[in-house]
Amino acid sequence: MTAQANTPAIKWLQAQKLAFDVRPYAYVERGGAAHSAQVLGLDPYAVVKTLVMQDELGHPLVALMHGNVEVSTKALAKAIGCKTVTPCLPEVANKHSGYLVGGTSPFGLRKDMPIYVEASVLALPMVAINAGKRGLLVLVDPACLLRLGLLLCNAPSPKHGASS
């Protein structure tokens, strides 16, 4: 393992004895999942983004969604029984997750928080997800996400289809 790959997310995956393949790439500010998918030659639908959000009471939560699909915060709120869900400000997301925005991983989070995943993510044969550092993804079997105690939800934005 290189120093670049020595993140809480990588340590969590190792502690769980899960198979993963580290994929570094040149991070671009605001490049998002589309950029990482392009430079790594991956389908953006299989690049899963990790979003730190909060409910109307300020309780944090994590949403995992396909890289080329927007989360409908209205649908997510309804699915989890909240009035509203909004993205956290970057500094708040960092405080809750322990990761910088653009490098947020669902593995090795600083705080325990519910993690909701778009159910169709689990049907993919392999996903790329942030490894806890900007410019660093891991390829994993989506079944390993189940170790996170995920809660399934269906909250894609209606303007997005299943796959691009």
pLDDT above 90 covers a percentage of the chain that reads 79
Domain count, the chain: 1
φ, ψ dihedrals at 48, nearest 5°: -95, 125
Strand partners, 47: 128
Q: Which residue has the higher pLDDT, 2 or 49?
A: 49
In a domain, 83, yes or no: yes
Domain limits for position 126: 3-153
Number of H helices and number of E strands within the chain?
4, 8
Q: What is the pTM of this model?
A: 0.89
In a domain, 162, yes or no: no
Model confidence over 56-84: pLDDT tens digits?
A: 999 999 999 999 999 999 999 999 999 99
CATH code, 99: 3.90.960.10
**Taking a C-beta distance cutoff of 8 angstroms, is the pair 132, 108 a contact?**
yes
Q: Is the model's pLDDT at 146 over the cut of 90? A: no
Q: Is the model's pLDDT at 30 over the cut of 90? A: no
Rounded (5°) CA angle 21-100-56 = 115
In a domain, 163, yes or no: no
Q: What is the arithmetic mean of pLDDT over 85-109?
A: 96
